[in-house]
Amino acid sequence: MPGTDPAPPRPKILWIARLEYSFHSWRERRARRRGQLPTVAAFPGYGGPDWVRVLGRVLMVPLVRTDSRGEYASVRGWRSFAAVPVGFAQVTIEIDGVAHEVVADRGGVIDATLPGSLAPGWQPITMSVEGGEPVETRVFIVAPEVRFGIVSDIDDTVMVTALPRPLVAAWNSFVLDEHARQPVPGMAVLLERIARDNPGSPVIYLSTGAWNVAPTLVRFLRRHVFPPGAMLLTDWGPTHDRWFRSGRLHKAENLTRLAREFPHIKWLLIGDDGQHDDSLYTAFAAQHPDRVAAVAIRRLSATEAVLAGGRTVVDDHSAAGVPWVTDSDGAGLLDRLADVGVVKLDPPA
């Protein structure tokens, strides 16, 4: 129309991103010819009194044997990456009897904020694709009066992975049986204790890990009795303008988003010194000092630090405006958090 500004140019899509999408489309067509149908891998989400953040992924999934209890008998990590993502699939999400239609992204990932008035606590929702059977998942609704929440990293914070070193990361992600993955000592007790002492508080697992391994991580957290929580991961592979996704940017953006979505909550931020958690949490605390209850950084052991490619430098936070503690495991962090008043330990008998 005359007098209107010209439309902004469309962003140029990196050729490798186009190649990745073409490859997955070819794999999807092959899977459909073999009779496979898309399904939704639905992951725990979260929300407030009148909205819900729904998370999941649309996949063509090969069958995997389960044992008599429904557990996967022996799942090598590569199987998490063998599933075929279905890009731009139309997904039906039902929240409290109301159906919503959303479209997955190029990698099949669903990350949508939808209206919904649900009671506080864990509430069920369903997701389906192409008229298939609905898949049920849960979302944690945060009550308006809640003032405390937990954000925890996963890799080398709750699960020993030595992720930064490429060869070890490849072994852990593609070869290792999921039942061989080990929790960081004491971290399940630490998180469960804090969650129990703060009923109604959200637990968010924020990681640079790929959505491909989300089902494995959900089973790992349940198997080792970590408190349930929403999981914020990232897609694996190139973006429209980058060869590799920035895990650091992913974490920073989601921390900022949580501060915006829950302006009344102060967060306990838990991470480790093997990646960039200290600098990320430092930047977040500087920008949002009234949104941080405390920061807890797990120190990697000497062996873990070597496997992880070294430690990042943990700054001196003695003059910080929020409590900042560090120790080598969950038991030590629990004691340090008790020292600064974030946790109240029972007096000795």
pLDDT (tens digit, 9 = 90+) per residue, 248-287? Answer: 889 999 999 999 999 999 999 999 987 689 999 999 999 9
Of 141, 169, 203, which residue constitutes the final position of a domain?
Answer: 141
In the chain, what percentage of residues exceed pLDDT 90?
52
Q: Is the pLDDT of residue 165 over 50?
A: no
Q: Bridge-partner residues for 297, per DSSP?
A: 271, 326
Q: What is the mean pLDDT of the chain?
A: 81
Q: Which residue has the higher pLDDT, 115 or 344?
A: 115
Q: Is the pLDDT of residue 76 over 50?
A: no
pLDDT value for 78 = 41
Asked whether residue 92 is domain-assigned, the answer is yes
Distance, CA of 285 to CA of 288 (rounded, Å): 5
Tens of pLDDT, residue by residue over 322-337, are 999 999 999 999 999 9
Asked whether residue 121 is domain-assigned, the answer is yes
**169 and 292 inside one domain:** yes
Q: Is the pLDDT of residue 240 over 50?
A: no
Q: Which two tokens stand for residue 230?
A: 């929403």
Distance, CA of 95 to CA of 25 (rounded, Å): 30
In the chain, what percentage of residues exceed pLDDT 70?
71
Where does the pLDDT of residue 241 fall: very low under 50, low under 70, confident under 90, or very high at 90 and above? very low
**135 and 160 inside one domain:** no
pLDDT value for 280 = 94
Q: Is the pLDDT of residue 308 over 60?
A: no
pLDDT value for 276 = 81
Write the CA distances from 177 to 126, 171, 174, integer angstroms: 30, 10, 9
Interstrand relation of 203-210 and 292-298 (parallel, antiparallel or unpaired): unpaired
Where does the pLDDT of residue 56 fall: very low under 50, low under 70, confident under 90, or very high at 90 and above? very high
Write the CA distances from 266 to 157, 212, 325, 344, integer angstroms: 20, 30, 16, 17
**113 and 169 inside one domain:** no
pLDDT value for 10 = 46
Mean pLDDT of 82-87: 80
**81 and 159 inside one domain:** no
pLDDT value for 5 = 44
Where does the pLDDT of residue 2 fall: very low under 50, low under 70, confident under 90, or very high at 90 and above? very low
**247 and 285 inside one domain:** yes
Q: Which two tokens stand for residue 215?
A: 């089902």
Global pTM value: 0.83
pLDDT value for 177 = 56
Where does the pLDDT of residue 52 fall: very low under 50, low under 70, confident under 90, or very high at 90 and above? very high
pLDDT value for 30 = 78
**Highest-scoring range by mean pLDDT, 113-122, 210-219, 272-281, 337-346:** 113-122
Q: Let me know the angle formed at the C-alpha of 322 by 317 and 324, rounded to the nearest 5 degrees.
A: 45
Phi-psi region of 271 (alpha: psi -120 to 50; beta: other; left: phi over 0): beta
Q: Are 85 and 59 in contact (CB under 8 A)?
A: yes
**152 and 253 inside one domain:** yes
pLDDT value for 64 = 52
What is the domain extent for residue 91? 37-141
Q: Are 273 and 298 in contact (CB under 8 A)?
A: yes
Asked whether residue 305 is domain-assigned, the answer is yes
Q: How buried is 232 (Cβ within 10 angstroms: 0-12 exposed, 13-18 middle, 19+ buried)? A: buried
Q: Are 282 and 265 in contact (CB under 8 A)?
A: no
Where does the pLDDT of residue 8 fall: very low under 50, low under 70, confident under 90, or very high at 90 and above? very low
**212 and 76 inside one domain:** no
**170 and 276 inside one domain:** yes
Within 8 A by CB and 6+ apart from 223, the residues are none
pLDDT value for 123 = 98
Asked whether residue 73 is domain-assigned, the answer is yes
Q: Are 197 and 148 in contact (CB under 8 A)?
A: no
Total domains, the chain: 2
Q: Are 203 and 192 in contact (CB under 8 A)?
A: no
Q: Is the pLDDT of residue 246 over 90?
A: no
Helix (H) or strand (E) holding 118: none
Q: Which residue has the higher pLDDT, 240 or 53?
A: 53
Alpha helices in the chain (DSSP H): 15-33, 78-82, 166-170, 187-197, 214-223, 247-261, 277-287, 302-307, 330-339
Tens of pLDDT, residue by residue over 94-105, are 999 999 999 998
List the CATH number of the domain containing 169.
3.40.50.1000
| CA 98 to chain centroid | 26
Which residue carries 């008229």 as its tokens?
Answer: 131
pLDDT value for 231 = 94
Q: Are 299 and 310 in contact (CB under 8 A)?
A: no
Q: Are 240 and 107 in contact (CB under 8 A)?
A: no
DSSP state of 289: G
